[in-house]
Amino acid sequence: MGKTRILVIGALGQIGTELVEKLRAMHGEDNVIASDVRNAQYEGIFEQLDVMNKDQIYTLVKKYDITEVYLLAAMLSAKAEENPDMGWKLNMNSLLNMLHLAKEDWIKKLYWPSSIAVFGPTTPLTHTPQHTVADPNTVYGISKLAGERWCEYFHKRYRVDVRSLRYPGLISYKSPPGGGTTDYAINIFYSAAKGDIYPCFLKENATLPMMYMEDAVRATIEIMEADPDEVKVRSAYNLAAISFSPGELTKEIQKFYPEFDSLYQPDFRQQIAESWPQSIDDSVAREDWNWKHEFDLTRICEEMIENIT
Ligand code: NAD
Ligand code: AKB
């Protein structure tokens, strides 16, 4: 078997920052090439790359003999509502560029994340099953659902080894969130640490599925390392850890900062949150490749508060 050489696209983002660290620890610094459309001071190999530029991608894949790509570049839910055309173009064209690259056998394996945003207002709200109604009403959700269909199509028709997870809202401290509806669950910790009241853009009872970044990165690597026969879902797997509302998170943070409070000032992101499930049934992922989350709400708060302060 040849050497694994990985390209991470969107490496400066919330997930990329931590995924590159983990992949480099596993495969060696020189075997994981970080890339992003933005430029940055970066430890290890970094290339500025626009995922919309096919020629640039092919040149880079050839230059480093890339075997696997993690495609993380995207426009998240709230940001995409502000620029739907750009959101659709970036989220779709980036994936299609990579699927073609894999189809033409330039790379052996592709990871592309989906989201709970594929679900919509008539999807079952709790314990949302793997296979159910998916009627997203955001441009982000529409792009993720279309992306899932393309992944399955390229796998079935061209045997492309593409793997995907429907992440819930991800909580982390190493890099700021990129403009999603679940970003409140990160921003809130910075207000608490500064002794400020948190102006929350969702309602107190807006329950959403969430996960700590360490769990999400582990899930990503586990599905990529799984035997191809174990990965039976080639659209995207439901993935879950915990669910909570802004009110419940505020109460949990008050255990560490008793004076802390949130002020609820819902904006357009509340409608997005209301269209998404409150909890996810990820039993298919647990069954197929033994997925299991580790971080509960208390542990997430402990880690966030310790690292942010
Ligand atoms: P992010 O916004 O933090 O990072 C995306 C990165 O992509 C940024 O660094 C950005 O500079 C880069 N990028 C943008 N346009 C690019 C281009 N044309 N070429 C190359 N790079 C470009 O996003 P994230 O939170 O790390 O999310 C990564 C993926 O995971 C996305 O597909 C997102 O939809 C998905 N996801 C994230 C979450 C979450 O809570 N973070 C939840 C569900 C799904
Ligand atoms: C967002 O809020 O847009 C993301 C997601 C759940 O896809 N965090």
Determine how β-strand 198-200 pairs with β-strand 262-264.
Answer: parallel
Ligand 2 touching residue 34 (CB < 6 A): no
Same domain, 140 and 174: no
Ligand 1 touching residue 209 (CB < 6 A): no
Per residue in 156-169, is it b (16+ CB within 10 Å) or e — as a string?
Answer: eeeebbbbbbbbbb
How far apart CA 272 and CA 275 sit, in angstroms, is 5
Determine how β-strand 208-212 pairs with β-strand 169-171.
Answer: parallel
Average pLDDT, the chain: 98
Same domain, 18 and 137: yes
How far apart CA 140 and CA 104 sit, in angstroms, is 27
Q: Which two tokens stand for residue 258?
A: 């008793």
Task: Tell me how many degrees the CA angle 35-233-284 measures, rounded to the nearest 5.
Answer: 110
Residue that the structure tokens 């995922």 belong to: 51
Alpha carbon of 164 to ligand 1 centroid (Å): 14
The predicted structure's pLDDT at residue 155: 98
Alpha carbon of 13 to ligand 1 centroid (Å): 6
pLDDT-based confidence at residue 284 (cuts at 50, 70, 90): very high
* Assigned domain for 299 exists: yes
Ligand 2 touching residue 180 (CB < 6 A): yes
Q: State the residue range of the domain holding 178.
A: 170-210+241-308
The stretch 147-163 carries a mean pLDDT of 98
What is the Rg, in whole angstroms, of the alpha carbon atoms belonging to the chain?
Answer: 19
| Contact by Cβ (8 Å): 186, 176 | yes
The predicted structure's pLDDT at residue 1: 58
The model's pLDDT over 57-105, given as tens digits with 9 standing for 90+, comes to 999 999 999 999 999 999 999 999 999 999 999 999 999 999 999 999 9
Residue with the smallest CA separation from ligand 2 atom 7 is 115
The predicted structure's pLDDT at residue 131: 98
Percent of the chain with pLDDT over 90: 99
Same domain, 105 and 183: no
The model's pLDDT over 100-129, given as tens digits with 9 standing for 90+, comes to 999 999 999 999 999 999 999 999 999 999
Alpha-carbon distances of 181 from 3, 143, 267, 270, rounded to whole Å: 39, 16, 10, 8
- In three-state secondary structure terms, 33 is strand
The predicted structure's pLDDT at residue 233: 98
Alpha carbon of 55 to ligand 2 centroid (Å): 30
The predicted structure's pLDDT at residue 145: 99
In this predicted model, which residue has the larger pLDDT, 286 or 2? Answer: 286
* Assigned domain for 224 exists: no
From 15, 75, 76, the mutation candidate for ligand 2 (largest count of ligand atoms within 8 A of CB) is 76
Q: Please say which residue of 166, 184, 218 terminates a domain.
A: 166
Any residues with CB less than 8 A from the CB of 306 and at least 6 apart, and which?
Answer: none
Determine how β-strand 165-167 pairs with β-strand 114-115.
Answer: parallel
Ligand 2 touching residue 139 (CB < 6 A): no
How far apart CA 176 and CA 190 sit, in angstroms, is 11
Same domain, 140 and 19: yes
Q: Please say which residue of 166, 188, 222 terminates a domain.
A: 166
The stretch 175-197 carries a mean pLDDT of 98
The predicted structure's pLDDT at residue 2: 75
The model's pLDDT over 199-255, given as tens digits with 9 standing for 90+, comes to 999 999 999 999 999 999 999 999 999 999 999 999 999 999 999 999 999 999 999
Above 80 in pLDDT, residue 271?
yes
pLDDT-based confidence at residue 289 (cuts at 50, 70, 90): very high
Same domain, 25 and 156: yes
Q: Please say which residue of 166, 189, 222 terminates a domain.
A: 166
Above 90 in pLDDT, residue 288?
yes
Same domain, 14 and 151: yes
* Assigned domain for 268 exists: yes
